[in-house]
Amino acid sequence: MRHFLLSLFIPLAITLSSCDRNNNFVMMAPEEDAALGKQLSEQILSQPEQYQVLDPDEYPESYAYLRNIVQTILESGEVVYKEEFPWKVYIVKDDQTLNAFATPGGYIFVYTGLIKFLEKESDLAGVIGHEIAHADLRHASRQIQKAQGLNFVLSLILGENNNALGEIAAQLAGHLAGLQFSREYEQEADARSVEYLAQTSYPCSAAASFFQKLQQEEKQGRTPTFLSTHPSPENRVKEILAHSQQLGCDTTSTSSGAYQEFQNSLP
């Protein structure tokens, strides 16, 4: 463990004072995002009572369908860390949870509840675009840096705090599905989702239809998890549509029967 952590921190020193490729000041190097994400995803996979992750070998068609959505977005040409991050996707069996989340470094977890709740592939693409954006914009790393302070990150780099990363990983794994990002980060992720999808065949405003559907749920007195951990969807719908208009990208939606087959392929 000690060696793993040490080897994790060595590259940090080299990249200390530089901005990342999104022009944000992030002390952690992208490799650390990927390493932290790997550690987190392993923790998640080792807690089947909390995260019942479907085995890709048992559900090859479901995974092929989902990976195709992820791949389509990655190939938009807009994902900055497309090559550096591993971009793995997992399906969590939980029909009651309308949620998806991504670890640093792009390990994406999508709940069956969300997949079954949505009606079209593009709706899901909008959400996945949003999650890819959180990882690509390195929101979790920036949040850790902000919350814990630069001294904390420095103590990681200098190797004075070898247990800290493991602790962060444990905390993130415990709260990841409910990890609260700032309003600013949520807006950034929404805007990036539009920009990614604009370069694909999906309607670029697809993330908005997800929020519209959530609003309908809320009106019926049910508050989905995603809503309790994310800012009010009303303004977000407006902002997503405004950003789409600004870009002049295609917002027309087509539905495909294949999405229903995908839903039916899940347990």
Q: List residues near Zn ion by CB under 5 A.
A: 186
Residue type, 209: S
Report, in Å, the least distance between residue 248 CB and Zn ion. Answer: 25
Report, in Å, the least distance between residue 68 CB and Zn ion. Answer: 22
Structure tokens at 58: 């048992």
The neighbouring-strand residues paired with 25 are 19
Q: Are 36 and 165 in contact (CB under 8 A)?
A: yes
Report, in Å, the least distance between residue 158 CB and Zn ion. Answer: 32
Phi and psi for 55 in degrees, rounded to 5? -75, 120
Q: Say which residues have a Cβ less than 8 Å from residue 11's Cβ, sequence separation at least 6.
A: 29, 31, 32
Phi and psi for 124 in degrees, rounded to 5? -70, -35
Report, in Å, the least distance between residue 229 CB and Zn ion. Answer: 8
Phi and psi for 180 in degrees, rounded to 5? -95, 120
Report, in Å, the least distance between residue 186 CB and Zn ion. Answer: 5
Q: Give the nearer residue to Zn ion in terms of CB position, either 186 or 195.
A: 186
Q: Say which residues have a Cβ less than 8 Å from residue 188's Cβ, sequence separation at least 6.
A: 133, 137, 139
Reported as type and span, the H/E element at residue 90 is strand 88-92
The neighbouring-strand residues paired with 53 are 92
Report, in Å, the least distance between residue 102 CB and Zn ion. Answer: 9
Beta-carbon neighbour count of residue 245 at 10 Å? Answer: 13
3-state secondary structure of 91: strand
